Structure 1
Amino acid sequence: MGKMIRVLILLFFISSPAFAVSDINNAAKVALEFNKWYLQQIEKDIYPLLGSGSPEMDEYVTAETLKKLHRAVNSDDEFYDADFFTRSQDIGADWPKNVTVVSSDLDPVCLNVYVSYGKDISHTVIDCMVKEKGKWKIQSVALQAIVPNENLK
């Protein structure tokens, strides 16, 4: 009996890291799918945040974030000067066909998935992924901009 308990405990500790990696990979997959789909929509001059929305947005973005974005889009206040999801005013010609997850990290708020656009990986956003009803969704997006420090030369 004691041997079986030790085996079960060992299996638990062996499988826990594998489960965590699998869960991180699922979040990265969702971020990649969303960014590919979103850039393809923009390339076709379809703006998913405008109008009544789309089922894809509901699938990939948290309800609270969508509510805030729709409120901002439909208000008379000045809206962002850049797209919320791409953090840019325009998209590069090669972005829709070149979307790559380049990294991820976990903090107490969310799983950050770094998604780069372009063959040269010239533009990177950070999708803050959280679970909503058991599914990974985007809660917020930040731009990963590296500004060279002139003092380091």
Structure 2
Amino acid sequence: MKYSGAEMKIVVMACLFFPWFASAAQALSPESTAALNFNKCYISQIMSGKEPLSDYTALKPYVTRETISKLKAMDKLDPNEYDVPDIDMFIKAQGYQNDWKNVAVVGSDYDAACIQVYIAYGEKKDHIVIDCMVKEDNTWKLQSVAARDFN
């Protein structure tokens, strides 16, 4: 098939704009965007040597009031008396890999309690958590996190 000059320009323009249209079609939902923003911010804080789990002011824009209240109560528990988790509540791991700065949404699911957003860490996306997102004061916030895989 032979194209005229004008037709060739249309084909070239379509090829140039197709990636833009494809990415626009794959735009994240508001709850997925909120989960992604939280996880990127959270892991960057951990990687820079900070302890964001107990920085309640920094968590407030991303995490529900109820969850922050439960985190505060858990912080007051004596680990010698109570079974306090030894993993980070938001990344569901004791540590992190250097490539975890790569954070991506890999899926979502809806249920009666919340919208579950699947967040993958690392270039291979081999560490995945499930963020339970709910609306609080018209803003999507994190209510809880579950590990996708259990050891």
Same fold (TM over 0.5): yes
Residue 85 of structure 1: SS of its match in structure 2? coil
Picking from 65, 79, 82, the partner of 2:84 is: 79
The residue that corresponds to 1:129 in the other structure is 133
The residue that corresponds to 1:25 in the other structure is 29
Picking from 50, 70, 73, the partner of 2:72 is: 70
Considering only aligned residues, what root-mean-square deviation do their CA atoms show, in Å?
Answer: 1.5
Pairs aligned (count): 121
TM-score normalized with structure 2 length: 0.76
Deviations 1:79-123 (CA, angstroms, capped at 9, x unpaired): 211100000000111102x10000001000000000000000010
Picking from 55, 62, 67, the partner of 2:57 is: 55
Picking from 94, 98, 113, the partner of 1:89 is: 94
Q: In the TM superposition, what is the alpha-carbon distance from 1:135 to its structure 2 partner?
A: 0.5
Give % identity: 42
CA–CA separation in structure 2 for the residues paired with 1:137 and 1:108: 16
CA–CA separation in structure 2 for the residues paired with 1:109 and 1:54: 24
CA–CA separation in structure 1 for the residues paired with 2:96 and 2:76: 23
Q: In the TM superposition, what is the alpha-carbon distance from 1:54 to its structure 2 partner?
A: 4.2
Q: In the TM superposition, what is the alpha-carbon distance from 1:146 to its structure 2 partner?
A: 7.1
TM-score normalized with structure 1 length: 0.75
- Runs of at least 4 residues of structure 1 off by over 4 A? none
In structure 2, relative to structure 1, the CA distance for the partners of 1:83 and 1:146 (3 Å cut) is: closer
Which of the pair has more CA radius of gyration?
2
The residue that corresponds to 1:20 in the other structure is none
Residue 83 of structure 1: SS of its match in structure 2? coil
Unaligned runs of 5+ in 2: 1-27
Tell me the amino acid that sits aligned with residue 55 of structure 1: T
Unaligned runs of 5+ in 1: 1-23, 148-153
Residue 95 of structure 1: SS of its match in structure 2? helix
Residue 116 of structure 1: SS of its match in structure 2? strand
CA–CA separation in structure 2 for the residues paired with 1:72 and 1:146: 22
